[in-house]
Amino acid sequence: MISDIFSSKRLSLLRGYLFTYFLIFLMVFLFACTKADKTSVPDGESNSKNTRSGRQSTLFGNFNAEPENLHPIRSTDYYSKQIQELVLDTLLVHNPDTYEWEPHLAEKWEVSEDHKIFTFTVRSNVKWHDGRPLTVKDVAFSFKAYKDPSFGGAHFLPYLENIESVKILDENRVQFKANKKYFGNLTVLGTLFIIPEHVYKDKEKKLSRVLPGSGPYVLGKYEKGKKIVLEQNKNWWGRTVKSNTHLIKRVVFRFISDENDQLIRMAAGDFDFLRMGPEAYMKKTNKAPWGESIIKKEIRNKEPAGYGYIGWNLKKPLFQDKKTRKALNYLMNRTLMNKKFRYDKSLLATGPWYQWSDYADSFVSPILFDPKKAGALLSEVGWEDTDKNGTLDKMIKGQKKEFKFTLIFPSKDVEKYLTIYQQDLKKSGIDMSLRFMDWSAFLKLVHEKKFEAVALGWSGGSVDLDPKQIWHSESSRKGGSNYISYSNPEVDKLIDKGREEMDRNKRIKIFKKVYRLIAEDYPYLFLFNTPVQFYAFSKKVKMEKDTYNYELGVQYWWLSNE
């Protein structure tokens, strides 16, 4: 999922394994929450102090930006997926401690020995939020809709392309057939959001501000530009089999982008929970009430980590030379930025996913700030200041071209990083303009590939990742997630080979080669990997433990009215 450069995240396949991340450094707030106003607490709410159910209450949350589109097929942004995870259900879920599959909408499932037939038995007591029964017909429709490009989900195609058909066996069983082995087929099917056919069958309906589902929360109200209200689904089928999850009765997400505003509101008692970046945790939250009535946590788990990047539009002649792109890497002082803004809590990213993944090549080293090496590379490929105006130039396709470009970004919190980069580029004769944009307008340009350079990020994805959605040349199609139009035939070949390899150890070796090849092409300026997570919460928030092995486990939290 496209994400905020500094973003944190939760994951699964088609909303994480999809590998779509957000903007650059660790500032998207997964479930940042504020305390409800007294007038907003639902009537009749219990104040019991003795049971978990009595401790449920209203929670206010925050997103850095308003969701682009709530439509489960057409949306690509992180914020939309966070809402969808609370409103929609999937056939399977990962255990947050073991990462093993567990039943969800599907009571049980079977996989054939050749890994090509997948049979799911769907629960019979599930209802949509409007009261209609969820059936295997809805499951079959969901698959067909996600795979049909006319529904607007081209970014799903890399994962669904190997599933050739779906067949309803009886009133509770549905079977999928794959045309080839792919290690992620079960993950794709297990984590696909199931949507109601009677609502989404009309492709012409926008449905961008509604979200009917079967999950633990109901979309209650959507005030554009202001807030999204989720009400607990009292008739959720999971209440009987997953009684320790989703205990909070009401959640209100607001859209506050400025980090300082978020910290002020937290300190004032308006927030119950807040994710933070390293600078906020280390520098901006050292005085009361931080550490007293507000508890701060620095945790580590095995959750895949996202990263920020600056992406070059490889369709633009300016960025088509690999040595030029490498020089642009040498001119970003990430070591300084990590020390100054991240308190050395992050690692300098080395490649196309987090570097402690089993699939990352540990021998790929980060590119350190070195203007002399950058200058030598730029001179080698013909960049020089021929008219002595302070800006490099060269002949490209028969025309003199100055080294000038515009970088677009949607988060003010990353501007300090980009400003340092801009100044260092200027010293080397490169003129980079910075253009801050509203999130929705920004995404429009990204999807249409109408940019020169872009500051973005990707969320962490799956433990067993698949690079195809971002790095395969096929994914540069319209609606795909290869926004920069990266293409390397050898990378394509290895990705295709790795996807069909069912032996994890053999697949790791293949994808490590992919990691190195992409890193050596310099399609992005990879920014930071952060192996730790930071968050704060008021004493009103209750939890069994600070984190589970593979996620924080916010779905298990509850609130106390003490």
Residue 437: is its pLDDT beyond 50?
yes
Q: Which of 207, 197, 198 is nearest to 70 (CA)?
A: 207
Number of separate helices (H) and strands (E) present in the chain: 16, 27
Q: What is the pTM of this model?
A: 0.82
Residue 68: is its pLDDT beyond 50?
yes
Residue 452: is its pLDDT beyond 50?
yes
Sheet containing 117-122: order of strands: 106-111, 117-122, 173-178, 163-168
Residue 555: is its pLDDT beyond 60?
yes
Q: For the residues 124-141, what does the mean pLDDT come to? A: 97
The CATH superfamily holding the domain 92-200 is Dipeptide-binding Protein; Domain 1 (3.90.76.10)
**CATH architecture of residue range(s) 307-529:** Roll (3.10)
Reported confidence tier of residue 459, pLDDT bands at 50, 70, 90: confident
Look at residue 34 in the predicted model and tell me its pLDDT. Answer: 31
Look at residue 76 in the predicted model and tell me its pLDDT. Answer: 80
180: which residues sit within 8 A by CB, 6+ positions away? 116, 162, 500
pLDDT tens-digit readout, 168-227: 999 999 999 999 999 999 999 999 999 999 999 998 899 999 999 999 999 999 999 999
Q: Average model confidence (pLDDT) for the chain?
A: 88
Domain boundaries, the chain: 27-82+208-302+532-559, 92-200, 307-529
Look at residue 1 in the predicted model and tell me its pLDDT. Answer: 52
The whole-angstrom separation of Cα 337 and Cα 345 is 11
Reported confidence tier of residue 15, pLDDT bands at 50, 70, 90: very low
Phi, psi of 262 (to 5 degrees): -65, -45
Reported confidence tier of residue 258, pLDDT bands at 50, 70, 90: confident
> What residue type is 515 in one-letter code?
Y
CB < 8 Å & 24+ apart, contacts of 105-113? 105/134, 105/139, 105/194, 105/214, 106/190, 109/186, 109/190, 111/186
**CATH architecture of residue range(s) 27-82+208-302+532-559:** 3-Layer(aba) Sandwich (3.40)
The whole-angstrom separation of Cα 185 and Cα 482 is 21
What are the beta bridge partners of residue 127?
133
The whole-angstrom separation of Cα 22 and Cα 326 is 23
Q: Which of 189, 215, 210, 190 is nearest to 199 (CA)?
A: 210
pLDDT tens-digit readout, 287-333: 999 999 999 999 999 999 999 999 999 999 999 999 999 999 999 99
